[in-house]
Amino acid sequence: MLTVPESLEGWSLLHQMFRMSWTSLGQASHEERRHLADGLAEWLQQASGDDGSSIAVAMLGHKADLMLVHARRSFDALNQAQLDVARLPLAEVLEASTSYLSIVELGMYEMTAKIHEQLTAQGLAHGTDDYREAQKDAMQAQHGRVSGRLFAPFPPRRYVCFYPMDKRRGEIKNWYSTPFEKRAAMMRDHGQIGRLYAGDVTQIISGSIGLDDWEWGVDLFADDPLVFKKLIYEMRFDEASADYGEFGPFYTGLQFSPTEVAGWLEGRTPGLVSA
């Protein structure tokens, strides 16, 4: 019986949230603060290319002062990014508040059903070795078709919102015991709402089942933060969210350019400079 949707994976992601010791920073000289700023700015500029990149976000609220988001092609490379940050001069005045590990994911409910129909028509029985091998080949072909979405660069948009989420596994409502066709229909309706905001927000969905405390991470990028409120509010009314969505803490802030690190450490809101 068809129950598990296929997915395609891209960048490995690590979100790092930090609190800044502003007292220690204020006691440092202008030259010392410049040295701390130069270290992070230079590293952010170097950590950009086909093998991945990192961005900095000035956070709003008490949960964190700085969020660094790293996209790399492997967990090994993510670990190197984490080590690099820990060895920056700025690390002396940073305290980790939380982190999140995930992998960019593209859910394939409709494609899974279509591939299942095609393989069944070819006489392959679901669950057999031949079926699994043919399914693997079919998904690999899809991976090549959508690789641009799986390994896209971080959007150069000013405002960023990140939150983790689960699908409910309660006694009455359990996403994972709901029939495949019902789940596929709900995800299709859910996606249609997102497409209404396609020009206003860029969304990155990452899977974290078996990797972190929640099942998915969601990153939203926009030029107007009000879009986050409107999009998420509207989505709360669709069945997939209303009956099955459970949400973790939200982290919202301002993406800023590496060249703005020094100003941020001097107490000025950092900007996002157009390339």
Choosing from 159, 163, 197, 251, the catalytic residue is 163
Query: What end-to-end distance do the CA atoms of the chain give, in Å?
Result: 50
Name residue 17's amino acid: M
115 neighbors 135 (Cβ within 8 angstroms): yes
Tell me if residue 77 falls in helix, strand or coil: helix
For 235, list phi and psi in degrees, rounded to 5: -65, -25
CA nearest 270: which of 93, 57, 94, 28? 57
Asked if 201 and 222 touch (Cβ cutoff 8 Å), the reply is: yes
| Rounded Cα gap, residues 50 and 262, in angstroms | 27
176 catalytic? Reply is no
> Residue 187 in contact with residue 107, Cβ under 8 Å?
yes
Are 251 and 63 in contact, with CB atoms under 8 Å apart? yes
162 burial (CB, 10 Å; 0-12 / 13-18 / 19+) is buried
Residues with active-site annotation: 163
